Amino acid sequence: MKCLCPLVFILLIFLPQILPADSVQIRNIIVTGNEAFSSEKILGLMQSQVGDDYDPDLLHQDFQWIASFYQMHGYQFARVDEEQLVLLKFSDGVYLRIYIDEGRIGRITIKGNTRTKTDVIRKELLFKRGDVYIQDDELESERILRRKPYLGSAEILATRDPETNLILIEVEVTDLWTFFPALDVPAFSKDKTGFLVALSDSNVFGSGDSGRIRYEQIREEGEDPRHLVSGLYRVFRLFDSHWEFDGVYTQKREGVSWEASLKRPLYSLQTRWSAAFTAAESVDERRWYEQGKKTAVFDRSSQSESGQIIRSFGDRRRQTQIALWMTSERVLFDEVERLPSSTANFQDRNARLIGVSLGHRKVNFIRTRFLNKMGRVEDIGVGYGYSVSIGRAHPFYGSDRRETRVSLFLNASQAYQDLLFVNGRAGVTTRFVAHEEEDSAFEASIKAVRKNLFLRQTLAARISTQMQFGLEGEQQVLLGGNSGLRGYDPRQFSGTKRIRLNLESRTIFWEHPLVVIGSAIFADVGYIWEGDTSDIGIPKRSVGFGVRLGLPKLSGSRVYRADLAYPLDGPEKPSLMPVFTYAIGHAF
C-alpha cells in the first residue's frame, strides 16, 4: 500500500483528463507552428478565450476559421492539425496547445524541359523545399517562367501528400526553339533596300543565357552601303545570383561602339532593392530630315556612365519605390554634310546629373490570349502607376552648366471581362536653366483592344501624340513608315509635334500548336506640324491589309506581319500600287 501512494500522487497531478465542457475553464492557449502570423493575431481570431468555459464544438469552429483566415491570405494548404492538439486538465482548468500546419513544401518536380537545365528553372521559382506554400508565390513564379524567352507554357500544380502532409510541387514547362538564323532580304520598297543576317540563341546550352551575332547592310538611294557587325551576350544569373550582365559590341563605318551593364532587377513583386550600372561608348551617324529629305549628317561620339539604386516598399499589389541615380554623358558632333537650308543645330554637351525618383503603383495580373501575341498565354498587368524624377547638373561635379531636369510619368490600364483592354500612358520631361524653362518634351497614348467581336475578330485602336517645345534644331519628330504611318517613306514628314490615329481589325482564321495564321485590315492617320498647336495642318492617311503569322514554339513567340498599304496623301496623287512592308510585332 505504501508503494502505491507515490504512483497515485503522480497520476493525479500529471495525467490529462477530459472533463465535461461545463465544468472547466480555459486557463491558457499556446499556438505553435505559426510563422506567417503572430500568436496574438491568431488568438484574436478565436471565440474560445482564456477564462471562458471550454467548449469542444466552439473550438472546432475556431480551427475552421483560422484555416479560412490563412487561405484568404494565400496559404491554400494551411490547417489546424487536430491530431496534434494537446489538451491538459489540471485542478485549476484546461490548458490547450494548438499546432498550425501552414503547409510546408516537400518535393519539387520539374518536367517538360528537354533543353533547359532543371536547375535553371528551379532558380526562377520563388519557393524552395522547406518553405511554406503561398499561392501568390506559385502564380508569380508561373509569370516569371512565362516571361523567359526560352519557355512557352508554364503551369505549377500543388497537392498535399497524405502520408507526410507535405506539399508536393509539380512544375510543367514547354521549351521553345531558341537557336535559329534570321535573314532579312531586300524588300525594294520605297527606294530603300537592305540586307540582314543574324544568328541568335536565347538559351545557350540550356543555361538561360542569350547571345547574338548580326551583320546588316543598309542601302539608301544615292548613298554607299553602310555595314554593321555586332555581337551580344547576356548572362541572366551571374555566379548563380540575381545579378545580370549584358555586353554589346558593334563595328561599323563610323567606328566601334560598346556597352556593358551590370544590374540586379526587381525580379519579383516582393523584391526590396535593385541596382544598375552601365558604361558605354558609341560612334554613330545622326541625320536630319526635312520634308522627307536628308538635309544634314553628323558623326556623333558619346561616352556615358550611369547608375541607380532602388528601394521598394509594399506588397505584391501596391509598391512604392525610391531611387537615387546619376548619369554622365559627353557628346561631340562632327558635321559631315549639310544643305544650306538645313535647320539642324546639334550641340556638344558634357552633362552630369544626380537625382532622385519617387514612384508608386498598384498592379494585378490577369491571363489572356491573342492580345499582344498570337497563341501563347499572356500575363497582363492592370492597375495604375506614376513616378516623378528630379535631377540636377552642376559644374561642381563636372557638368558644363547648371541645369535641372524634371520628369513625370503616368500610366493606367484596365480590363473588362477578358473582352476589352484599355491602356493609357503619358510622360513629360522639362529642362530648366537659370530658373527658366528651356525645353520640354511630351508624349501620351491611349490604346484600346476589343476581343471576340465575332468570328474571332479583334478591333484595336490607338491615339498618340508627341510634342516638343524649345528643341528646334536639336531633336525632331518624324512621321512615316517607321513611325506608325504605313505606306509612306520611313521618314517622309518632319516637325516638332505629331498626332497619330491607328485602327486595325485583326482576325484569326487558323490555329495550330505550331503555327497561327491571321489577317488584318488597317487605317492610319497622322498629323505633323511645327509651331502653334492650333494649326495642325492636313492629315496624312493610309489604308491597307496584311497577313499575320504566329509561331508559338519559337523563342519570344513574336508576331510576324506583312502588309500592303496605300498612301492617300503623299506628294503625288494616290497610287493604285500598294507599298509592301514586313516587320516583327504588331504595329501597335
Q: Give the tens place of pLDDT for each residue, 356-411.
A: 999 999 999 999 999 998 888 999 999 999 999 999 999 998 899 999 999 999 99
**Secondary structure of residue 531 in the 3-state scheme:** coil
Which of 171, 169, 237, 244 has its CA nearest to residue 206? Answer: 237
Q: pLDDT at position 530, please?
A: 86
The CA distance from 333 to 301, in Å, is: 7
Range in 30-39, 62-71, 108-117, 574-583 with the lowest mean pLDDT: 574-583
Q: In 291-317, which ranges are E strands?
A: 293-314
Asked whether the predicted pLDDT for residue 21 surpasses 60, the reply is no
Range in 273-282, 554-563, 565-574 with the lowest mean pLDDT: 565-574
Asked whether the predicted pLDDT for residue 345 surpasses 70, the reply is yes
Q: Tell me the pLDDT band of 14, cut-offs 50, 70 and 90.
A: very low
Task: For the chain, state the CA radius of gyration.
Answer: 32
Q: Tell me the pLDDT band of 181, cut-offs 50, 70 and 90.
A: confident
The CA distance from 202 to 175, in Å, is: 11
Q: Tell me the pLDDT band of 263, cut-offs 50, 70 and 90.
A: very high
**Secondary structure of residue 476 in the 3-state scheme:** coil
**294-332 confidence digits (pLDDT tens):** 899 999 999 999 999 999 999 999 999 999 999 999 999
Range in 76-80, 249-253, 522-526 with the lowest mean pLDDT: 249-253
Asked whether the predicted pLDDT for residue 20 surpasses 70, the reply is no
Asked whether the predicted pLDDT for residue 9 surpasses 70, the reply is no
Which of 578, 570, 576 has its CA nearest to residue 545? Answer: 578
How many of the other CB atoms lie within 10 Å of CB of 156? 20
The CA distance from 479 to 485, in Å, is: 7
Which of 115, 105, 236 has its CA nearest to residue 160? Answer: 105
Q: pLDDT at position 224, please?
A: 74
Q: pLDDT at position 217, please?
A: 85
> Which pTM was predicted?
0.85
Q: pLDDT at position 24, please?
A: 85
The answer to whether the beta carbons of residues 342 and 292 sit under 8 Å apart is no
The answer to whether the beta carbons of residues 360 and 318 sit under 8 Å apart is yes
The CA distance from 266 to 275, in Å, is: 9
How many of the other CB atoms lie within 10 Å of CB of 224? 8
The answer to whether the beta carbons of residues 209 and 201 sit under 8 Å apart is no
**139-153 confidence digits (pLDDT tens):** 999 999 999 999 999
Q: How far is CA 102 from the centre of its chain?
A: 31
Q: pLDDT at position 573, please?
A: 62
Asked whether the predicted pLDDT for residue 456 surpasses 50, the reply is yes
Chain position carrying cell 535559329: 180
User: What's the CA angle centered on 223, arms 221 and 225, to 5 degrees?
Assistant: 105
The CA distance from 237 to 555, in Å, is: 19
Q: pLDDT at position 226, please?
A: 81
Domains by residue range for the chain, with CATH: 4-101 (3.10.20.310), 105-175 (3.10.20.310)
The CA distance from 448 to 450, in Å, is: 7
- Mean residue pLDDT across the chain: 89
Q: Tell me the pLDDT band of 18, cut-offs 50, 70 and 90.
A: very low
Q: Tell me the pLDDT band of 188, cut-offs 50, 70 and 90.
A: very low
**467-482 confidence digits (pLDDT tens):** 999 887 788 899 998 8
The CA distance from 549 to 551, in Å, is: 7
The CA distance from 207 to 130, in Å, is: 25
Q: How far is CA 450 from the centre of its chain?
A: 22
DSSP-derived secondary structure letter, 21: G
Length of the chain: 588
Which of 318, 235, 248 has its CA nearest to residue 281? Answer: 248
Asked whether the predicted pLDDT for residue 81 surpasses 60, the reply is yes
Q: How far is CA 485 from the centre of its chain?
A: 27
